């Protein structure tokens, strides 16, 4: 903050630049989804490679039903996507943003 700018002016300019309530709500929902250990482990697994629900369940030592439920929530938040490969449904992270978000959080806790 510059010593010549009154505090009220600085606070007003910051307030004007803040996210609107809708964005705040969406961002809170996103972080709440990632706050669940099973969902975070799914993101971790999918950051390494695409997997079907059966392989995800085996990797996480969870039931297929439990993993499917969590995948539905992650897909709803556009964190995970799926594609058909014959009879299999293959899951992956939705885009590079999800990988960067996960990687940045991991880097933060590791340092």
Instruction: Domain count for the chain, please give it.
Output: 1
Closest among 56, 59, 61 to 91, alpha carbons compared: 56
Confidence of residue 7 (pLDDT cuts 50, 70, 90): confident
Residue 104 lies in domain? 21-110
> Is residue 111 scored above 80 in pLDDT?
yes
- Given this model, what pLDDT does residue 9 score? 84
Closest among 99, 88, 86, 85 to 49, alpha carbons compared: 99
CB 96 within 8 A of CB 52: no
Q: What is the pLDDT of residues 42-74, one digit of tens each?
A: 999 999 999 999 999 999 999 999 999 999 999
Q: Report the interhelical angle of 96-110 vs 21-34 (nearest 10°).
A: 70
Tokens linked to 96: 């590079």
List the CATH number of the domain containing 82: 1.10.10.10
* Predicted model pTM: 0.85
Confidence of residue 87 (pLDDT cuts 50, 70, 90): very high
For residue 94, being part of any structural domain is answered with yes
Neighbour count for residue 42 (Cβ, 10 Å): 27
pLDDT average, residue stretch 31-39: 95
For residue 60, being part of any structural domain is answered with yes
Query: Pseudo-torsion of CA 67, 70, 72, 73, nearest 10°?
Result: -170
| Residue 35 CA from chain centroid, whole number | 9
Phi/psi at 30 (5° precision): -60, -50
For residue 84, being part of any structural domain is answered with yes
For residue 4, being part of any structural domain is answered with no
- Given this model, what pLDDT does residue 3 score? 60
- Given this model, what pLDDT does residue 50 score? 97
């Amino acid at each position: 903050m510059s010593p010549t700018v009154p505090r009220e002016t600085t606070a007003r300019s910051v307030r004007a630049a803040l996210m609107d309530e809708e964005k705040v709500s969406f961002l809170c929902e996103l972080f709440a989804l990632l706050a669940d250990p099973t969902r975070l482990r799914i993101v971790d697994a999918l950051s390494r490679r695409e997997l079907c629900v059966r392989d995800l369940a085996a990797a996480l030592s969870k039931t297929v039903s439990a993993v499917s439920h969590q995948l539905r929530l992650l897909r709803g938040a556009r964190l995970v996507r799926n594609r058909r490969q014959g009879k299999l449904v293959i899951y992956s992270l939705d885009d590079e943003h999800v990988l960067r978000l996960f990687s940045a959080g991991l880097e933060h806790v590791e340092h």
